Chains A and B, each alone.
Chain A
Amino acid sequence: MSESDALAHYVESNRLEHFVNYELVGKSALRVQRWRDQWKLKRRKPRPDSPLSPPLQCVAYMKEIMSRHYLEGRYASGVRKVAWVTSGAPTEPLQALGYFLVYPENHAALCGVRRKAQSIAEEAEHAGWSRDICSYARTDIGAMLSGKTPAGRLPRPDMLVCCTNICQTVLHWYRVLADYFECPLVLIDTPFLYDEAHDHEVAYVKRQIEDMIHVAEEMAGTTLDQARFAEVMQNARRGAELWLEVLNRSQNRPAPMTAFDGFIHMGPIVDMRGEAVAVQYYERMLHELDARIARGIGAIKNERYRVLWDNLPIWFKIGEFSKSLGEHGVNVVASTYTYAWGELAPMIDPNNPLESMARVYLHPILNRSTGHKLEAMKKMVDEFQLDGVILHSDRSCKPYSLGQIDQRDRLSKTLGIPALLLEADHNDPRDYSNEQGANRLEAFIEMMEARG
């Protein structure tokens, strides 16, 4: 067989696999799974001992959506062009060009939730990567080297897109991936906003997005269809607007969902931003939240205190924290992290896509000054009527964590509410001490109780 024949055969057999395993069988199987999950949720007996209300019913759809995404990933190679992207990357043009997008951070978070992150990260550590680098990066590099993943199989990237608006670490991480996969790395360098965005910064980002589009078009062998692009932008905007509304519903007392729910339900807006399925999902979710609000159902049964969570979640502790805080009547109703994917919705302008994208992707909270982050937290304390703030001092995430000591001091002094700095890591359980953490949380709760 000649080389071009072999390649054609490879692509054909991949397409067939993709069609059969994903389109035909996979999607249906996941739909059935969702029916079963929904049925189980409906039939769930009330648990009087649990401080938590029953989970949101829509979570069955979310699982289906995310599983479908990862399932397609297994068969995407050779069928769709694959891009691995950072969570803050301007992916809308890639969506419009038909790329299959892999978000290594989301994958690493999935490993964290499933308690597999440590063993996977150890693969990277044994190959020489220090434990002092971001645990997402270690999990991802470890998965890359060993092939270990709870998500089936991740397709190799045809291209990497790295946007520094979430941190500078991603560039170093993606250079490692580029070395390993030997594929092009597109950099979108978004200058840090010490105050407001300047024109030259917007122009710079816009130009890099344009360059990205050229590279992506060439690789995909097509040009960007403007109508499709506009559609994706519309969906991105609508999805972000809906997500913001979902989060703002927690301004109600009691809040119908927790920030921990938010960490789980943010999957679609991060991984499927620009797709209609994300829009539909949040419409459904909003509907369910409104139904809860109408009936006065809170995410926890006895909401005594309302709290803000700053920084990434501690993925391997979400269930446990949810429950133990719930037992004390503490509802973590808001987080700066989930808010980041909604608060910029008004800036997304489908009529002026490139310019508005350049602005939007400069403004995520992680790319903003420590002072701005403090103001954002103060605003949330006010809007959500909060009694305390938990600042997760995430060892892996310097852009979020550096500045928290000053922020905590000011929250405590100027707002007069308890603010706890909790030392941990978002994915590596070795960097969290259960005993010490539990102790600090208890002290924090006692402080809120003492204030009445």
Chain B
Amino acid sequence: MSKVSSIGIDAGSTTCKLVAIDCDGAIVGSRLEPTEPRVEIQMERMLAALRDELEAGPEAPVIATGYGRKLIKEATRNVTEITCHARGVFRALGRAGTLIDIGGQDSKVIQVGDNGRPVDFMMNDKCAAGTGRFLEHTAARLGVPVDQLGGRALSARGEEAITSTCTVFAESEIISLIARGADPDSILRGLHRSLVGRVISMVRNVGIVTPLMLSGGVARNDAVRTMIAEAASEEVVLPGEPQLMGAYGAALLGGTA
């Protein structure tokens, strides 16, 4: 008899995540892959693989969230990422607060209430600046791999201020700086500062209810975390698996936990 109580699917635009939970709401299995063009087919495959691994049949309800949620045929229900992220983080950290989710293509700030439900939220999903893409794109220009971004930014000796808020303008600015011989790590640091500035703006808009919590792919970036804490003068806490929070929340909404 499988221990799987429900499965959550987060069909994001950059990555696809699956999380299976047991009747106590603990994570018993998960999957994460970069999103493929035919996400419905990918999901079928990932779901089958997860069920296989956990020896689970099709009885457990499947809840979908994320960009491609309506394409998932197996899903019995779909819920927005806002509600799912709030739920996931609330359960993972056990507290209400302000959740900052910085994904590959969007960023959100969600005020999580005492019952794990979103009280208010703000999203940035029309502009690359303020998302993981801003860092990736401009870092690619500097020839730095994504997983080294945070470390190099934090260890920089100086910081070059990047004043452009637009990714395209920022790129021109960076080219200028490089031409003038600026240190690449200092530029990276400035880039991170710029990203964090955008995010903090949204945070101030929604209003800070402590603690600040971080989820999404960019949460693993130490520089982003450190700078958010500095800018807000508040502690920043991370769940164990920041990227899985959406899928986790979706699974929780499906189960009894």
| Interface size classification for chain B | 10 to 19
B-side contacts of A435, CB under 8 Å = 169, 172-173, 175-176
Contacting pair B173 A434 (CB below 8 A): yes
Contacting pair A125 B201 (CB below 8 A): yes
Docked complex Cα distance between A434 and B201 (Å):
23
Dominant SS among interface residues on chain B? helix
Docked complex Cα distance between A436 and B166 (Å):
12
B-side contacts of A433, CB under 8 Å = 164, 166, 169, 172-173
Interface of chain A residues 309 through 350 with chain B (CB within 8 A): none
The distance from the CB of A337 to the nearest CB of chain B, in whole angstroms, is: 25
Contacting pair A430 B204 (CB below 8 A): no
Q: A435-B169, A435-B172, A436-B172 are in contact. Are A126 and B163 (CB under 8 A)?
A: no
The distance from the CB of A240 to the nearest CB of chain B, in whole angstroms, is: 38
Contacting pair A430 B163 (CB below 8 A): yes
Contacting pair B201 A122 (CB below 8 A): yes
The distance from the CB of B193 to the nearest CB of chain A, in whole angstroms, is: 14
Docked complex Cα distance between A126 and B173 (Å):
26
A429 in contact (CB, < 8 A): yes
A128 in contact (CB, < 8 A): yes
A-side contacts of B163, CB under 8 Å = 429-430, 434
Dominant SS among interface residues on chain A? helix
Produce 1/0 per residue, B103-120, CB < 8 A to A. 000000000000000000
A-side contacts of B148, CB under 8 Å = none
Q: How many residues of A contact B (CB 8 A)?
A: 11
The distance from the CB of B178 to the nearest CB of chain A, in whole angstroms, is: 12
Produce 1/0 per residue, A419-452, CB < 8 A to B. 0000000000110011110000000000000000
Contacting pair B205 A126 (CB below 8 A): yes
Produce 1/0 per residue, B151-195, CB < 8 A to A. 000000000000111100100110110000000000000000000
Chain B residue at smallest Cβ distance from A430: B165
Contacting pair A126 B201 (CB below 8 A): yes
B-side contacts of A127, CB under 8 Å = 205
Contacting pair B205 A436 (CB below 8 A): no
Docked complex Cα distance between A343 and B90 (Å):
64
Produce 1/0 per residue, A214-251, CB < 8 A to B. 00000000000000000000000000000000000000
B-side contacts of A125, CB under 8 Å = 201, 205
A-side contacts of B172, CB under 8 Å = 433, 435-436
Interface centre among A122, A125, A128, A433, by most chain B C-beta atoms within 10 angstroms, is A433
Chain A residue at smallest Cβ distance from B206: A126
Contacting pair B204 A436 (CB below 8 A): no
Docked complex Cα distance between A429 and B172 (Å):
16
A-side contacts of B205, CB under 8 Å = 125-128
The distance from the CB of A80 to the nearest CB of chain B, in whole angstroms, is: 36
The distance from the CB of A130 to the nearest CB of chain B, in whole angstroms, is: 11
Chain B residue at smallest Cβ distance from A123: B204
